[in-house]
Amino acid sequence: MFRIGFGFDSHPFEEKPTKPLKLGGVVITEEISLKGHSDADVLLHAITDALLGAVGAPDIGELFPPSSPEWKNADSAIFLKEALKIIREAGYRIGNIDCTIVCERPKIAPHKGEIIENLAHLLEVDKGRVNIKGKTPEGFCDLDGIAVFCNALLMKL
């Protein structure tokens, strides 16, 4: 049996960087950063929601509310690990993850290999099960930040 989940997240850029910009747990730059209660790792947030959605679990905001001081500047890998625990308890494992990162900056291509490698490690899967793509909005929307779309295929254990 298969389950499919969809995740989406977006964060605007901060006017003055207050923390490093992380994507998939990888520090990309310290020259720009995203607004967010946690570390604002928009990619890990979208993946977490895709995994949770695939098993009908509460979303990331319900499990880790931004109003809670406990999650202030928290490493988003914590959220991902909890989602992995939830999908395993539901009797599923990851088939594959496919994500699209939409932004004008930073360029994703130079970091793609490192991000995929780290995601595979965090998700405890072969890196061939993880795909990311970088796209620019090309006039689609007025995006002064980063948005991520993610699909997750889960397979019954």
Q: Is domain 2-156 classified as CATH 3.90.1720.10?
A: no
The secondary structure of residue 109, as a DSSP letter, is: G
CA distance 21 to 33: 5
Cα(101)–Cα(129) distance, integer angstroms: 17
Q: Please, which pLDDT band fits residue 12 given cuts at 50, 70 and 90?
A: very high
Residues in Cβ contact with 4 at an 8 Å cutoff, skipping those fewer than 6 apart: 54, 151, 152, 153, 154
The structural domains of the chain, with segments of one domain joined by +, span 2-156
Per-residue pLDDT reduced to its tens digit, 51-106: 999 999 999 999 999 899 999 999 999 999 999 999 999 999 999 999 999 999 99
pTM beyond 0.85: the answer is yes
| C-alpha dihedral (47, 52, 53, 54), degrees to nearest 10 | 90
